[in-house]
Structure 1
Amino acid sequence: MTSFHAAIEAIKRGGVVIYPTETLYGLGGSAFLPEAAARVCRLKGRPEGKPLPLVVGSREQVGLVTELEDSDFARLADLFWPGPLSIIVPARRDLAPQVKDAEGLTSLRWTAHATAAALCLESGAPLIATSANLSGRPAAARPEDLDPALLAEVDAAVLEHPWPSGGAASTVVRLLGCCRLEVLRIGAVPARVLEQAGFRLRGLGE
């Protein structure tokens, strides 16, 4: 078990850490450092070209990831953040290339987990937040479910309480304008909740 402060130092040095989010354990490092992002991909066995998702620790940190000013984005953030809703946004140029797709987009959420948020805030960086498992293997919500081989490879792991809540990963949506959303993955935020908030959805079997 590694201390929270050791994880902060590892992130600042460009290291890779395992840490709890509101849903599952995350594997990540600073979103500003390509070497950290490349190592996350290598440790996880993540396919090339599949961008890494990000979390931030406050509304103010959103500006470190994207300069998007959009009424639907602001409304989603007001309603569902902090929490397990990931929104596809245009990424800033100074972020690591591994967190962006070919269009320069990245997946972002403001995490509701106190430990994950504090790691972002005290390291001064958005964090990569892919699930802490080898690609194709089950994600983990308890320390004992983490892959020992993966634990042995990271620079730090924060395994103290509070643990992730478990259950589904975050819901992922893309803004289409005029209160319309493309749903890329349904997870912890149900489709009906998005619809009840006044959004029209695309991508659920249409």
Structure 2
Amino acid sequence: MAYFRVSTDRQGRSGLGLDAKREKVRAFLGEGYPPVAEFTELESGKKADRPELRRAIAEARRRDLPLVVAKIDRLARDVRLFLDVLDQGVDLRFAELPELPTGAAGRFMLQQFAAVAELERGLISERTNAALSAARARGRASVAIAAASKKPAQPWPPRPARSALTPMPRTWLRLCGRPWSPRKPQGGCSLAGGPGVHYPPPPPPPPGGEAGHGRPRPSNES
């Protein structure tokens, strides 16, 4: 009889964890492999509610056969649960401990190994919780740093309203002959009218023609 346990659904679906445990049991049983029956369970090692384990123990007692488990921590990671299984009178064998003695000495050694398995479970839990706390702390620190380093958005300066006397650029260029700029003096050129207003003369017409025409007019002289 053989009992296998995996802790996560991923291990159960992939079969990788089960394959490694079956190889241990195969090497332990040798020519006695495969076992009469196999019982596989997907459950945490600290939980006592194990339907497949109960079935395996009952079947091993009914057939008067040893129950083989790959490793001690695959049976349980809780000392009380482990001792409860031992007290049910089933002949337990562990593939990782082929030289384990029988009797009181063997039971004592199994108790020590079960205590080590429980200690390992506690250390794993502590390391996991510490890593999660550190990750949460790093996340909060990263958010705080990012918030502190983010500069507030600078609003765009308001667009100045166009004055009634502010000329349109094209109008100023046409009348004054140069681009208009609010940062440069306009040299007497103004659109407001009145004394002292000076408009530059219009550009001279092209040679041989009148202003506004690009071709010379034909002469009527013969």
TM-score range (shorter-chain normalised) is under 0.3
Answer 1 or 2: higher relative contact order, Cα 8 Å, separation at least 6. Answer: 1
Greater percentage in helix: 2
Greater percentage in strand: 1
TM-score by length of 1: 0.24
Q: Larger Rg: 1 or 2? A: 2
